[in-house]
Every structure is written in structure tokens, then in C-alpha cells.
Amino acid sequence: MNKLFENELKVINIGLKSFNETLDERKVSSVQVDWKPPLISDSSLFDVIRNNSDKIETANKEAVKRILNSKPFLTGMGKAIDVIPGMKKNLLLHAGPPVAWDKMCGPMKGAVIGALIYEGFAKTYEEAEKVAASGKIEFSPCHEHATVGPMAGIVSPTMPVFILENEEFGNKGFCTMNEGLGKVLRYGAYDESVIERLRWMENVLYPSLKKAIEKIGKIDLKNIIAQALHMGDEVHNRNRAATSLLYRILAPEIVNTNEKEAAVSVLNFINSNDHFFLNLSMGVAKVSLDAARNIENSSIVVVMSRNGTEFGIQLSGTGDKWFTGVSPIPEALYFTGYTKDDANPDIGDSSITETNGLGGFAIAAAPAIVQFVGGSTNDAVNYTLKMYEITASENTIYKIPYLNFRGTPTGIDVIKVIGKNILPFIDTGVAHKKAGIGQIGAGVLEAPVEPFKKAFIGFTNQLKNI
């Protein structure tokens, strides 16, 4: 028997706001749902999902479990050619989904040029260009080699990299050291100063850090991030606290295991770069998400990444397939003198942080950033709250104080993205479209629709064929 008449009426209103206003006026308990039609209108695809819902749910639970239980540690350092799987003497890794030399954007081309000069394949810009286009150099996404790189994300054979290990599942991940701001390789700069700095990093920074880390044994990166979230970081665009915490752990052993001059220069270097931790937070995300790869029937997103030309994603259940779309230009507030016309499309592997429930997904922990883009602290909270709609779970370790220590939204589910018409929120820096100029603004953006549509269709087709 219907109990509706016996209980107080409590309404969920999906659609016209005016109906809810009437309910408010009459003091009826109600909730307004801001509904949007799904991104794909072919209901037959949703039928497939419905028919497989149990399988998908089980698979996603497993994927999420692996992401949440990951234990990423910084365990050492090495040269890319020695430690990165599949690295070759003539291979350059880059951010984002696969892209050919002729399709690369300005900053990425500049970074490739710089890397080729650094590696000794060329001495000048013109030479390097020829070499890059010659076919002698191979290009491959960092992601396909358990690696991540911010902005252009170029990793060359001789570059030193951090080694991360996910102790729970045994998988490893790699990332370069962050060069700092201004004229740097990852923004496409390739002049003398850039190469010099890279050499210093290889010859001084790398060995010093390597020794210090060896002495320490291993550094619990998850713990650093958890604390940093309590201190106003979201570890994508704001890494100051995390960098400071890392600094505290490393400093004594840097001093201990190195000559004074080297130690001082290393400490100064880290101190002057608020984003030193970024590459490691990206590495943490990488090893956590890689553990959740290849779970059959799982619709959880394991990669979101951009190469400055295209934006690409990968799902746990669809193996190595990339689903791509045009990379958008962020809605940013530009530094004085720059406008949207100067901006490069979104670029970098750093959106792996959002994929892991950090960065833009944790922006409620870092209201300072939103101020920078003209928003209020309330906006920061709302951005995070919205993301709970499209994730399968809430993080068990990364908690946001303002939300009563609620775990960050973790485990993006492409089915929810398409069904609810809500796209992942990313906060990011914006690069100038010309190589080598640097950051020209900061902003927020929604991931583009196309990769998610393609992924949803790819995923559903796969289900149909089983």
C-alpha cells in the first residue's frame, strides 16, 4: 500500500525551478536538481550499460580500491635511459596522447628542440628542427612508459628522473625534476640558459638528491600530499606547502651527503621553486592510477592528459586505447598584456592530478587559487562539490578540512560524466603559444566533451561485443 498519504511530503524537483519555488513558499521540504540532458542522446547505449550494470559496478569497485589503496613512495633516482621502461637512445617522451612532430604545438616543438640540443643531436635550432623531422627521432607519450611530465613534458634519454614505487601493487612511475619558472624547457625555451640549467640539474642537482634519497631510504609522498591539503595546497597549481614539507625531509640529508657548495645550490634551487613538488604529485597520481589499469568492464578514467594539440583520456577497461579531442584554450585570467589570442591550448600531463582526485578536484582545499582567477572561496567549494557527481568514490587519505575532512572526489566514471553532462574540472596554468615565453595566465576549465564521448562509445561497444 502506498504510504505517500501518511507521511510528510518531501519532494525532489527535477526541471522547472518555478515548481520548487512554490514548494519553498509553502515550506515544503524539497531539493532542486539542476538537471542537464546526457551528452549522448542515443538511449540504446545506455541500455547496454544498464544491462551490464552489475559487471561494471564490480569492476569499478576494484579499480577504485586499487587507486585508494596505492602506497606511492619516492625510492630513488636514475637516468631515463636506465630506468624508464622502453626508453631508447633516440626516443623522446612527451606529454599527452600520441602526436607527430609536424602536429606539435609551439611550446612542445621548442622543448623538443631544446632536448635534442641537450642530448647532442644538434647544435642549433635549425639543425635540431631537421633532426626532429628526419624520422631518426622517435616520439612516444610519457604515459605509455609509466612516466608523466608537466607542460611539454619532454623526457630525453640522459635526463635524470625520480623513481616512484607503488608498494601496494609493485608498479613503478617516473618523472623529471621541475626546472622552475620563466624560461624553461617545459614551456618550450631552448636557449643557452635552458641547456645550462638542465646540465646543472644533471650534474649537481641529480647526484645530490639521489644520495640524499638513498640515505633516507624512501619518502612517503602520499603522506606529504595529505598534509599539504590541510595547508592550502591542491598539488597541481599550488604546491608551496608540499614543496616545503619535502624540503624539510630532504634538507638534512642533502647537507649530510654533499659538499657545502653543492648542498647550498641545491637547497636554494628547491627553495626558489614553489612548484618543485608538482612533478612528484603527478608521479604519485600516475602510479596510483596505473595500478587500476586493465580491469575488464571498468569505466573508471585512468588518464587525462594533453599535448597542446589534443586532449586524451584512457579508461581502465579499454586497455591502451586513447580517446582524444581537440585541446581547448582555458578560460583564464591573463597576466597584463596577454589575452586569449596569445594562449596555447591546454597542455601537459598535470591533469593526472585531477584524475587522481587532486588539483581542481581538491580546489576547496586551496581557495587562494580561486582568488587569483577572480572567484570567491564559495566558488572553490562548489567546484569540488560538483565533482562528487562524477566520481565513483571519495578518497580515504586526501581530505579537505573545510568540507569537514571529506575525502576528495576520486575515480572519474565516464558513464556519470556522459549521463549527468558534467565534465571534470581542471585548474591550470596557461602557456604562451610561442615557444619559450612561459606562463601567461592561470585559469580553470572543463575537460572537453569529445574524448569522453568517444570513450563512452568505445567502452559500450566493447561491452556489446562480449
Partner 1 sequence: MIVTGILKRGEYFDSVSLMLIAKKISELEIVLDSAAVMGTPENKSMLQTSGLLTDELQNADDIDLMIAYKCNSQNESVLISKKINEFLKKSDNTNKSSGSLNPSSLESALKILPDANLAMISVAGKYAGDEAMKALQNGLNVMLFSDNVSVEKEIELKKFAKEKGLFVMGPDCGTAIINGVPLAFANVVNRGNIGIVAASGTGLQEVSCLISNSGCGISQAIGTGGRDVKKDVGGIMFLEGIKALAEDKNTGVILLISKPPADEVIIKIIEVVKKIEKPIVGVFLNSPIELFENSKITIAKTLEEGALLAVAYSKKENIEKVFQKINTRDLELKALAEKESAKVNKNQIYLRALFSGGTFCDETQMIFQNVDKDVFSNTPVGRVKKLKDIWKSEKHTIIDLGDDEFTVGRPHPMIDYSTRNKRILAEANDPETAVILLDIVLGYGSNMDPLAEIIPVLKGVKKITSKQKRYLPVICSVTGTEKDPQNRTTVAAALSAEEVLVMDSNAAASKLAKFLIEKKR
Partner 2 sequence: MIKLVSFGDDLVKGTYKVHSRFNEVVNFCSGSSFVFIVNNSIGGGPFNIVADDVKFSELENLVITEDHFQLNDEKIFFEFSKTYDSKIKVMNFDEKKFFQNLDHFEKALIENSSGKSLTFLLDESRKKNFKSSYEIELVRRINSALECFTSSNFVEGVKLIKGIGFGLTPSGDDFISGFLLALNCLQKFYAVDYSELIRHIYEAAKGNNAFTNAFLLAAKNGSLFEKFKNLIHSILYSGQNEILENTRTLISFGETSGADQGVGFLFGIKRNLK
Please identify which residue in 140, 382, 396, 462 interacts with partner 1, judged by CB under 8 A: 382
336 binds partner 1 (CB under 8 A): no
Binding site partner of 337, from partner 1, partner 2, none, Cβ cut-off 5-8 A by kind: partner 2
330 HSE (CA, 13 A, CB side): 28
Under rule CB under 8 A, residue 389 binds partner 1: yes
Cell 635511459, located at residue: 81
Distances (CA, A) of 211 to 208, 225, 255: 5, 23, 10
- Considering only CA atoms, which of 391, 445, 459, 390 is closest in space to residue 421? 390
Q: Exposed, middle or buried by CB within 10 Å (0-12, 13-18, 19+), for 322?
A: buried
Q: Does residue 376 touch partner 2 according to CB under 8 A?
A: yes
CA distance 280 to 118: 23
Output the nine-digit C-alpha cell for 175: 618523472
CA–CA distance, 276 with 205 (Å, rounded to integer): 12
Distance from C-alpha of 122 to C-alpha of 140, rounded to nearest angstrom:
20
Residues 14-73 that bind partner 1 (CB under 8 A): 14-16, 18-19, 22-23, 26, 28-38, 41, 43, 46
Helix then strand then coil, in percent of the chain rounded to 5, is 45, 20, 30
- Of residues 406 through 465, those in contact with partner 1 by CB under 8 A are 419-422
Candidate ranges 24-32, 90-98, 290-298, 375-383; the one touching partner 2 (CB under 8 A) = 375-383
* Residue 11 site contact among partner 1, partner 2, none (CB < 5 to 8 Å, cut-off depends on kind): partner 1
- 349 touches 282 (CB < 8 A): yes
401 binds partner 2 (CB under 8 A): no
Interface residue with partner 1, options 374, 405, 461, 464 (CB under 8 A): 374
Which C-beta is closer to partner 2: that of 90 or that of 371? 371
Residue placing its CB nearer to partner 1 in the complex, 155 or 392: 392
22 with 32: CB under 8 angstroms? Answer: no
Nearer to partner 1, 181 or 368 (CB): 368
Which CB atom, from 333 or from 457, has the smaller least distance to partner 1? 333
Phi, psi of 91 (to 5 degrees): -110, 135
Is residue 377 at the binding interface for partner 2, with CB under 8 A as the rule? Answer: yes
CB of 58 to partner 1, least distance (A): 19
Q: Which of 98, 350, 388, 407 binds partner 1 (CB under 8 A)?
A: 388
Please select the residue that binds partner 2; options are 15, 378, 401, 464, rule is CB under 8 A.
Answer: 378
Pick from partner 2, partner 1, none: which does 333 bind, CB < 5 to 8 A by kind?
Answer: partner 2
In the list partner 1, partner 2, none, the entry touching 22 (Cβ below 5 to 8 angstroms by class) is partner 1
Choose among partner 2, partner 1, none what residue 373 binds, the Cβ cut-off being 5 to 8 Å by kind: partner 2
Q: Which does 367 bind (CB under 5 to 8 A by kind): partner 1, partner 2, none?
A: partner 2
List, in order, residues 6 or more apart from 10 with CB less than 8 Å away. Answer: 28, 29, 30
Residue 5 identity: F
Q: Which three cell numbers stand for residue 296?
A: 575488464
Burial of 391 (0-12, 13-18, 19+ CB in 10 A): buried
C-alpha to C-alpha distance for 360 and 383, rounded to whole angstroms? 8
CA 106 to chain CA centroid, Å, is: 21
CB-CB neighbours of 465 under 10 Å: 6
| Candidate segments 154-162, 253-261, 383-391, 425-433, binder of partner 1 by CB under 8 A | 383-391
Judged by beta carbon, residue 203 or residue 376, the one nearer partner 2 is 376
The secondary element (H helix, E strand) that includes residue 185 is none
Q: Which residue number, 48 or 216, has a Cβ lying nearer to partner 1?
A: 48
373 forms part of the interface with partner 2 (CB under 8 A) = yes
Give the number of other CB atoms < 10 A from CB of residue 7.
7
Whether 380 and 367 have beta carbons less than 8 Å apart is answered as yes
Q: Is 2 in the site for partner 1 (CB under 8 A)?
A: yes
Distance in Å, CB of 213 to partner 1, minimum: 42
* Binding span for partner 2 by CB under 8 A among 65-73, 121-129, 137-145, 334-342: 334-342
Q: Which long-range contacts (CB under 8 A, 24 or more apart) does 219-224 make?
A: 219/73, 219/74, 219/246, 219/249, 219/250, 220/73, 221/72, 221/73, 221/74, 221/164, 221/280, 221/281, 221/283, 221/284, 222/70, 222/71, 222/72, 222/284, 222/397, 224/249, 224/277
- Residue of 136, 385, 402, 464 that binds partner 1 (CB under 8 A): 385
Amino acid symbol at 351: S
Choice from 203, 215, 259, 335 touching partner 2 (CB under 8 A):
335
Please identify, among the stretches 76-84, 329-337, 355-363, 407-415, the one whose residues bind partner 2 according to the rule CB under 8 A: 329-337
| Total interface residues for partner 2 by CB under 8 A | 12
Angle CA(175)–CA(173)–CA(273) in degrees, nearest 5? Answer: 30
Residues interacting with partner 2, by CB under 8 A? 333, 335-337, 367, 371-374, 376-378
For binding to partner 1 (CB under 8 A), which residues are involved? 1-5, 7-16, 18-19, 22-23, 26, 28-38, 41, 43, 46, 374, 378, 381-382, 385-386, 388-389, 419-422
